[in-house]
Structure 1
Amino acid sequence: MLGLVSTSTTTNPTDLLKAVLPIGIGLASAAFLAHRATNKGGFSRDKSIPIVPLRAGDKSHDAEYAEDQNKFLSKCVENYGLVFNVMLWNQKFTVVSGSLIREVFMNEQFSFIDALEEVTGMKAFTDSITKTSNDENWISHSAIRDNLSPFLPLYTPRIVEQLTLTIDRELGDCKDGKLIEKPINVFQEMVAAAMATVFMGNDCAKDHRVRDSFIKCTYDFGEVLGRDNRLRFWHRFNTQAKYSVLNPLKKHIDILVEVATPVILKRRQEEAEANAKGEEYVRPLDMMQKLLDNFDKYGFVDIEDVCGHLLLLVLASVHTTSDSAANLCYYFAAFPEHVDVLYQEQCEALSQIEQERQTLRQSKLASGEVKSEQDFVGSDLDPKNDRDLSAAMMKRLVKMDSFVREVLRYRTERLTLAHTAREDITLSNGMRITKGSKAIINNHSVHQSDEVQGGDAYEFRPWRFVGKAKAATKAGNDFLVFGMGKHACPGRFLAIQELKTVGALLVSRYSKFEIQDPSKTKRGLMWRMGDPVDTGLIFTSRN
């Protein structure tokens, strides 16, 4: 573990460029010809799968899809069935709908990573961040599953604290109404602060450079992904050539290493002192410590490698959670009649917990287990914590949970999560997705299905899931936001907990949310990930 503090020596990127550029230029033409030979469209070659005809004058389905996603996909399913081919975003897709979607998610020979790599070339980028082999990011997936989600109740107080501090700083008192022109910036600050304390601990999170890096690195990653993932071969080739030798996140990794090193050394000193006294060392609770404690399991090289993996977690979480949290506020503004309902639910839940804790304190006093009220100070039953937004309390906010799930259902892009077939795969309807073709998920056929959603699927019904076993974290055949099966997003528990906490804190502080330009309300509800609506929000404080 001591070796993890010293970073390894790396070759000068300029020297590497001098070595690879002549070769790269020579290979460019060959790579392009190889691409043309091996990537003849993304359609399945199964002739029984229909190709949706183009409208007169259109060269792709982009315009028709953009005009009305629901109408376009409804027409396609009605006329051509659950599997059909479309041309969108300079790509060719085989669309898989309805009951067949599960077969794409559950079959290991359908790969989301391969499809994303084909468009972006992002593996060269992610590999450049870390030094440990991370085929399909297995380390990050395992780290979240084993070291983050099980400890979420312990992380919750810190998350609440950081979100509260940021709300007070960025929004504060808005008794006369306060316009925030770019809400996404506020929510990036909120989420970055919360993620910093979870991923690197309180000591590191205090350094503003960590929070700034958590925000800025997502913009660097956006350059790799490209706008809307709608770029083609040359973008991918450029990414693969460039990021094999240059890493734009190196500056962020350097910052994390610089901040983390003295913290790690201090922790080791405290552990050594505790061991010398024969005392048990209380290990800090954060992802950095978890990764350090398991460095043999994951095969980390040094602290630079650990910080690289922490940045992978940041890339997978900060931007998406910030985006969804900001979007949540546009729904508060568009449906103001529901804000006080959510606030009342929170007040009732806090009062119930407060009463239960008081009853438990009285019971302990009556039994003699505790001698006086003073003995509760500093304990788990300290009265000052009766109305905390604890993990247990958040579980009682079933309406907030339903609201969040409904926002995600209602908002999610209708066609997402393309998967490349690694071999010929025959679906249960007999249609064949041939090797190399891309199957894309028709979320509309599930999220906007009256049969699946219990009616009124085109309506925003915030209490749709109240009283049902359909928590916002529950991925499945009727909720595809987080995927499905063993590859479902492992960070969804943290993401939903943060979204619910953000919602609870905001409705407790602000009674009114208004969209600056009401004419852009629809755009505010349906903005694309990474492309926020160009109108602000007005916050008005309670009382």
Structure 2
Amino acid sequence: MDFSTLISKSIDLLNQHAPQAVQLYNRATPTDLIVVGAATLLTLYNITSMINKSKYSHLNMPRKVAYSLPLVGHTLYMTFNANRFLDWCVANYGDTFDLDILGKTITVAGGKIAEQVMKEDGHVLSLEHGVLTETLHVNYVFNKDTFFLGFTANPAIIKLLLAPSKMPNFTSRIVESVNYGLSQIASDLPLNVENTPVFLQELVAFISVRILIGEEVAKNREVIDTFAQFTNDITRNVPLWQVLPEFLHKPMLPYLQSLNRHKVCMDTHVDPVVEKRRKMLRDGELERGSKCDYLQELIEYQYPDGKTFTNKEITDGVLLIAFASVHTTSQNLSFGLFWLLCRPDVCDQLRQEIDQVLARHNDKINDESLKEMVFLDRFLRQVLRLGVDKLATGKMAMEDYTFMNGYQIPKGRLVQSLSRRIMFDSYTVDSTLDEMDPFTETKREATQTGRDNIAFGLGKHMCPGRFFAIHEIKIVLITLLKHYNVELRDKSKPVDPVVYALGMFATPNENPIVITARK
């Protein structure tokens, strides 16, 4: 029987039984309709699962974890008890298995397989497609040219500009930016901060604008606000993209005006700076390499064929780096601040170190005083380890891919790594405040990556901006602890330093705090 004959017979069958179906519907009670609807959904779910299974029958796929619920899959298990559920999965399925999360099948990798995933080349397992386009949909804001800039020029520029040897070039400017930012947003004390992560994002934005763009816009509040708010405006739309079918995404874009205003801000305030600097280079008023900021590096960047970036590519590139820099830094800064609020013993020890070291340096935060703060470095290493996602990395297979254990996944599959489990081997027991242990002697710096600290990645994919991010966080924490008292507004309720969205993704605590002057 050919396809057209099958369709014809199906239509005849529907026409024949349609009157009986209408009669059954009219006589059915609401309970009957709910039962039939649920049965229909379950049937469709099972049919879809069978189709997908047969579609990839040529691959040695990882086993799917049992007890996947219709529509929600394993999402509820992750949301309510991710630690125990993932431990159970590893015990029963090993280092590689499939889960159904938020309506999609993902592959989860642990142990050596996760390390393979994190170190794999981007054209094979792509972070760009896995996180930026398929999850956050940053591609709705930036075009392919900006992505190309972000994944080709940016790593080379940041690696040179923000190398560990270059940190002394930024110390005084970071200190000035922090002090100026606090004078603007914490001038009236006591200060009641309703949303702590938002407060810290704004403070980090003061630093990022000065260092990345330059003095010309260092005090421009519109540019600073864009740096502070852009990431939130991106992530705020993620639930919308998860719920809406993809064909409805583009029609919704004109209604998301917040994203457009950030691009307008860059075009309005940063483009004139780019044009002015280009003219100064042409006229000999500015020497190449004389300005130590990201914007200048973009202006002077040349491809092997001599091609340079256009003004528009540069302003979009600056906005893209704002997305990456402010979010990561402020999030880890928030984790650190709440750990200090939850662990008074750690806070007291850190404050004692800060007071003692700065007393030897005329209360100046400089490169020498920063090197002497060993406990601060140990503390931040713990903050990074305790602040990773339970499922992280989010790389998409750009082709059928084979893991070292022989399992295979199809093109388009998202791979998540058991990041927190890798660093702590296991976490069957729920997280406790006692996990924070910066008192243990270690010579490993916060920026030093390894199997016990994959917060900045592994191998050649390690974040090149990690040295600058830690430098920022140190100076902000030192400034806050030296000059202010920071407390929870409501001390009667216990808080978690790290909050997990859907039980998986580490997010900052939003509890209100109160900032007063330190006597």
Q: Does the alignment reach a TM-score above 0.5?
A: yes
Displacement of 1:185 in angstroms is 2.8
Secondary structure of residue in 2 paired with 1:86: strand
The 5 A counterparts of 1:171-250 are 171-172=186-187, 174=189, 178-222=191-235, 226-227=238-239, 230=242, 234=246, 238=250, 248=260, 249-250=262-263
- Cα distance change of structure 1 residues 515 and 75 upon mapping to structure 2, 3 Å threshold: farther
Q: Tell me what 2:11 maps to.
A: none
CA RMSD of aligned residues (A): 3.7
Q: Where does residue 300 of structure 2 map in the other structure?
A: 293
Over residues 452-505 of structure 1, what are the superposed CA-to-partner deviations in whole Å (9 max), with x where a residue is unaligned? Answer: xxx998654444485424322222222222221212222222211111211111
In the alignment, the residues of structure 1 paired with residue 326 and residue 247 of structure 2 have an alpha-carbon distance, to the nearest angstrom, of: 24
| Matching of residues 441-460 of structure 1 within 5 Å | 441-449=417-425, 460=434
Which residue matches 2:19? none
Distance 1:470 1:272, change over 3 A: same
How far is the alpha carbon of 1:515 from its aligned partner? 4.8
Classify 1:95/1:132 alpha carbon distance in 2 versus 1 (closer, same or farther; 3 Å). closer
Cα displacement (A) at 1:409:
1.8
Determine the structure 2 residue equivalent to 1:170.
185
Residue pair 2:113, 2:403 contacting (<8 A) in 1 also? yes
Q: CA deviation at 1:273?
A: 5.4
Alignment of 1:478-489 (within 5 A): 478-489=452-463
Alignment of 1:350-365 (within 5 A): 350-352=358-360, 354=361
Partner of 2:30: none
Asked if structure 2 preserves the Cα contact closer than 8 Å seen for 1:210 and 1:255, the reply is no
Distance 1:443 1:203 in 2: 40
Asked whether 1:148 is paired with 2:183, we answer: no
Match of 1:337 in 2: 345
Matches within 5 A, 1:390-539: 390-449=366-425, 460-464=434-438, 467-516=441-490, 518-519=492-493, 521-522=495-496, 524-528=497-501, 532-539=508-515
What's 1:112 paired with?
127
Q: Distance in 2 between matches of 1:346 and 1:215?
A: 28
- Work out the CA distance in 1 between the residues paired with 2:120 and 2:289: 43
Aligned-partner SS, 2:284: helix
- Aligned counterpart, 2:34: none
**For residue 371 of structure 1, what is the aligned residue in structure 2?**
none
The CA distance in 2 between the partners of 1:530 and 1:100, in whole Å, is: 22
Distance in 1 separating the partners of 2:455 and 2:233:
24
Q: Which residue of 2 aligns with 1:87?
A: 100
Matched residue, 1:304: 312
**Contact residue 172 and residue 366 of structure 2 kept, 8 A:** yes
Q: Distance in 1 between matches of 2:356 and 2:182?
A: 23
Aligned twin of 2:45: none
2-side partners of 1:221 and 1:233: how far apart? 18
Report the alpha carbon displacement of residue 222 of structure 1 after superposing the two structures with TM: 3.0
Cα 1:512–1:206 change in 2 (3 A) is: closer
Name stretches of at least 5 consecutive residues in structure 2 with no aligned partner.
1-47
The structure-2 alpha-carbon separation of the partners of 1:441 and 1:273, relative to structure 1 and needing over 3 Å to count, comes to closer
Structure 1: distance between partners of 2:382 and 2:226: 32
Q: Kindly provide the CA deviation profile for residues 295-352 of structure 1, in whole angstroms up to 9, marking residues without a partner as x.
A: 4568334323222211111111112322332332222211122112111212333345
Aligned 1:114-133 pairs, distance under 5 A: 114-116=129-131, 117-127=133-143, 131=145
Alignment of 1:22-37 (within 5 A): none
Alignment match, 2:270: 257
Report if the CA contact (8 A) 1:473-1:492 is conserved.
yes
TM-score normalised according to structure 1 size: 0.74
Residues in 2 aligned to 1:74 and 1:527: alpha-carbon distance in whole angstroms: 17
Counterpart code for 2:382: E
Change (3 A) 1:526 1:398: farther
Rate the CA distance shift 1:126–1:466 in 2: closer, same or farther, 3 A. farther
Identity %: 24
Amino acid at match of 1:481: A
TM-superposed CA distance for 1:530, in Å, is 9.1
- 1:39-58 alignment, distance < 5 Å: 40=52, 46=59, 49-54=62-67
Q: Which residue of 2 aligns with 1:324?
A: 332
Sort the Cα spacing of 1:233 and 1:261 in 2 relative to 1 into closer, same or farther, 3 A. same
- Following the alignment from structure 1 to structure 2, what is the Cα–Cα distance between the partners of residues 235 and 181? 37
After TM superposition, the structure 1 stretch with the greater mean CA deviation from structure 2, 286-295 or 188-197, is 286-295
The amino acid that maps onto 2:370 is: M
CA separation of 1:534 and 1:346: change in aligned 2, threshold 3 A: closer
The residue aligned with 1:77 is 90
Distance 1:235 1:69, change over 3 A: farther
Q: SS of 1:497's equivalent?
A: helix
Question: Do the aligned partners of 2:60 and 2:406 also contact (CA within 8 Å) in 1?
Answer: no
Pair 530,295 (structure 1): closer, same or farther in 2 beyond 3 Å: farther
Number of residue equivalences = 458
The alpha-carbon distance between structure 1 residues 209 and 436, as it changes in their structure 2 partners (threshold 3 A), is closer
SS at match of 2:325: helix
Cα-to-partner distance string for 1:325-380 (whole Å, 9 max, x where unaligned): 2332222211122112111212333345x3xxxxxxxxxxxxxxxxxxxxxxxxxx
SS of 1:134's equivalent?
helix
SS in 1 for 2:134: helix
Q: Could you say if the C-alpha distance between residues 396 and 44 of structure 1 is closer, same or farther in structure 2, counting changes exceeding 3 Å? A: farther
Distance in 1 of aligned mates of 2:141 and 2:478: 37
CA distance, structure 2, for counterparts of residue 435 and residue 273 of structure 1: 52
Q: 1:5 is matched with which residue?
A: none
Q: 1:493 to 1:472 in 2, by over 3 A?
A: same
Residues 209, 223 of structure 2: 8 Å contact kept: yes
1:139 alignment partner, one of 134, 148, 153? 153
The offset of 1:104, in angstroms, is 0.8
Paired residue type of 1:140: N
Q: Which residue of structure 1 aligns with residue 80 of structure 2? A: 67
Deviations 1:74-95 (A, max 9, x none): 1111122111111112221111
Query: Contact 2:56–2:410 (CA<8 Å) still a contact in 1?
Result: yes
Shift of 1:187: 1.3
Q: Is the contact made by 1:409 and 1:481 (CA closer than 8 Å) also made in structure 2?
A: yes
1:142 Cα deviation after fit: 1.9
Q: Structure 1 residues 227 and 479, CA, compared in 2 at 3 Å: closer, same or farther?
A: farther
